[in-house]
Amino acid sequence: MPEHVIPPRSGRAFELAAGQVLSVIDPMGGQVADLLAISLADTREMISSGRTLDYAETIYLTTGHSLYSNRSNVMLDIIEDTVGRHDFLLTPCSEATFRLCYEDEPPHQGCHGNLHHALEPWGIDEDAIPVAFNCFMNVPVDGETGRFKVLPPLSKAGDYIRFRARMNLVIGLTACSAPASNGGSFKPIHYRIEEA
């Protein structure tokens, strides 16, 4: 099983068949990977943060939780997780994020732009890109006030999260482009696909 490399501030898309296992690996530690899942059979069926959180009854997902689609079907099961802290509240950073929140000149296209371009061969409309499951992203929420911070990931070098596909999927995956998400460092993300 080759270990694929997603270079810093870039994204990839690939197909993942039902039963296959995807490992998303943080090779150096402290980096975020935005993950999208889309049904190969009908690309209008996509990962849904709102459905998934509703069924999980928690904003922090880990081993044993499933990621649901907008049609309430299970797309991915989380089968192993060495970190235990990921985000499923925020959208992939975009050119607008950089314009509004950072001083990047010119603004980077961000994970949103990287996902859009990577997913173009499957005909995914840019406006349809939903909230991603942001592997390793560390967003603690103050339960009293509701305010949250985007802190550096808790992941150490070699940490990973593994998902088993429950349907035939197109996966979009990035090495995050936003300074706040990865503590100001831009690092690669690795991934591996194992047969069922």
Q: What residues line the site for a copy of itself (CB under 8 A)? A: 44-46, 48-51, 53-55, 57-60, 70-72, 89-91, 94, 96-97, 100-101, 125, 127-131, 140-149
Q: How far is the CB of 50 from a copy of itself (least distance, A)?
A: 3
Task: Give φ, ψ of 71 to 5 degrees.
Answer: -100, 15
Please state, in angstroms and rounded to a whole number, the distance separating the CA atoms of residues 134 and 86: 6
Nearer residue to a copy of itself within complex by CB, 123 or 143: 143
Q: Which amino acid is at 56?
A: A
Nearer residue to a copy of itself within complex by CB, 43 or 168: 43
- The dihedral region occupied by 95, where left means phi > 0, alpha psi between -120 and 50, and beta the remainder, is alpha
Nearer residue to a copy of itself within complex by CB, 92 or 190: 92
Q: How far is the CB of 177 from a copy of itself (least distance, A)?
A: 14
Q: How far is the CB of 5 from a copy of itself (least distance, A)?
A: 27
Measure CA of the first residue to CA of the last residue in the chain; give whole Å.
12
Please state, in angstroms and rounded to a whole number, the distance separating the CA atoms of residues 96 and 116: 14
Nearer residue to a copy of itself within complex by CB, 38 or 193: 38
Q: How far is the CB of 120 from a copy of itself (least distance, A)?
A: 16
Query: What is the sign, positive or negative, of the torsion defined by CA atoms of 187, 188, 189, 194?
Result: negative
